[in-house]
Amino acid sequence: MRAKTFRGGIHVPENKHWTSGKPVEVMPLPQRVVIPLLQHTGAICEPLVKEGDQVTAGQKIGESKAFISAPVHASISGKVVSIGPMPHPVVPSQIASVVIESPGDVPPVEWTGASRWEDLDGEEIKARIREGGIVGMGGAAFPTHVKLSPPPEKKIDALIINGVECEPYLTADHRTMLERWKEIIEGTKIILKVLGIERAFIGIEQNKPDAIRLFKAKLDDSGALAPGKPFASGRGARGSSNGARMGVVPLKIKYPQGAEKQLIKAILNREVPSGGLPFDVGVVVHNVGTAYAVYEMVVKGKPLIERVVTVSGDAVKEPKNVLVRIGTPFSQVIEFCGGMPEGERVKVIMGGPLMGLAQYSLEVPVIKGTSGILVVKKRREREKGDYCIKCGRCVEACPIGLMPYKITDYAEKDNFAMADNYGVRDCIECGACAYVCETRRPIVQLIKYTKLNLRSKK
C-alpha cells in the first residue's frame, strides 16, 4: 500500500533511536508537585482548595466555568502548602499554581469508572471527559470535550487518531501505541460514540513499522477501512457506536506530517479552508495519547494526572520514556534519567527541537502538554541573517502553501495588514521555513510577532 502524505514539508534527522526501543518506565512518586492552574488552551482555572487543605491524588483542585477550559487535579496525595505564582514551561510570566507536598507512605487511590461505558449516552461520556481534565496530548493541549462538541451544522463523518509523532527525538506516542494498544482502540471507540459516527483512521508514520503491524493485526479485518475509501452515506445517530470500524493508514516520513491539516489532507484528501478548523471539512482529530487518556477516565475513572514523557538528547546520560506525575519538576525527571554531564553547557527544551520551547529553569513542572524534555549540548550557531536572498526554499517547504519570505518582509516593516493578506494567521509555526532558510532569518519569531500584534489590535 502506497504511503500517504501532503505537499511541502521537510526531511530532518529523526534521532528517535535514543528511546524508540525503550519501554516506558514508571517514575517514583515525587514528594512535591507544582500544579499550574493553566495547562490547556483557554481560560485559567480558579483554585478549589486553600493552603493547609489535605488532598487526594485525582481530586479536582482547579476549575473554570468557561467552556474552553479544563479542570486540573492533584497528582499526588498530601497537603496544599501554598497557592501562588510559579514558573511555567510555556507561559513567559509566572502562573498561579497549587503546591502539594506528600508525607510519604500514602495508600494508592482506587479508581472507579464505568465498567460498561456502552450503556452511557454521548453527553454523559463527554461530561466525564471534561471532569477528568482531558486535553490534547500532542502538545497543543486543547480541551478534548470542546473538540467533541462541533456545532450542530457541522456534519462530522471522520475521526482521525494521530499516531504520527513527527517531531525528532520524541517517542512517547510510539511507546504508548506499542504498550497500550488495547486501551487506545477502546478509547477510540468511546470517542466515536460521543461523535455519533462509526469509522476512524489511525495515522502512523512509516518509521514506526512495529506499531503499524501491531494495530493492523489487532483490528478486526472486517472492520478495517481502506485509506481514502469514501464514507458510506448517512451517519449513525449521535450517541451510537454500533459497528465501529477502524483502519490503519501508513504515512510517509516527513515533517510536519502530524499537523492536523496535513494529516487530514494526507488521509482524506480534504483541505481545511483558510481560517477554518477540521470540523469545517467533517473531521475531528485526536492524538493517540488523548484516546488513551479518554479510556483511563471513562473506564477507570482516572483523571489526567500523569503522562508519558520522552527524555532524550546528547546531554542526558540515560535517555528514556517515563510515566511522570503532572507537576513534577523537570530537574527530577532529568535526574531520574541519569542527569546531565557536569560543566557542560546545555539547552533544555520542552517538546521537540522544531516546535518546542527552550526553558530558563529546571524547576518548571511537567504539565499536560509536556510530550518531551530534550537536553542537548549547546553548540555555537551560525549568525542569523537580516536579509532574504529570495531563494524560495521556504515556499517549497511550507506545508500550508504560504510565502514565508513575503510575510516576514512585511513583519520587519511592522506592516501587519499586508502580512495578514499573505495568510500569516494560517501559519502553524512548524518551523520548516526557518530550518531550510539559507541565511537563517528568524522567520518563526517574526511570524509570532506579527500574530501577537494582530491579536492585540483585534
Q: What is the pTM (predicted TM-score) of this model?
A: 0.92
Mean pLDDT of 325-332: 98
**Could you give the percent of the chain with pLDDT greater than 90?**
83
User: 243 with 219: CB under 8 angstroms?
Assistant: no
Least confident of 117-131, 227-241, 256-270, 314-328: 227-241
- Cα separation of 25 and 23, whole Å? 6
Which pLDDT does position 66 carry in this prediction? 96
pLDDT digits (tens, 9 = 90+) for 88-106: 999 988 999 999 999 888 8
Give the pLDDT band (50/70/90) at residue 239: very low
Which pLDDT does position 243 carry in this prediction? 61
**Could you give the percent of the chain with pLDDT greater than 70?**
93
Indicate the angle between helix axes 209-218 and 172-179, nearest 10 degrees: 30
Which pLDDT does position 4 carry in this prediction? 85
User: 388 with 394: CB under 8 angstroms?
Assistant: no
pLDDT digits (tens, 9 = 90+) for 58-73: 999 999 999 999 999 9
Sign of the Cα torsion 442, 445, 446, 447 reads positive
In the chain, the domains with their CATH numbers are: 119-300 (3.40.50.11540), 393-457 (no CATH)
Retrieve residue 276's grid coordinates.
477554518
Which pLDDT does position 441 carry in this prediction? 92
Mean pLDDT of 236-255: 71
pLDDT at 140 over 60: yes
User: What type of residue sits at position 115?
Assistant: S
Whose grid coordinates read 471539512? 281
Which pLDDT does position 456 carry in this prediction? 85
- Cα separation of 278 and 270, whole Å? 9
Give the pLDDT band (50/70/90) at residue 225: very low
Mean pLDDT of 369-388: 83
Whose grid coordinates read 537536553? 375
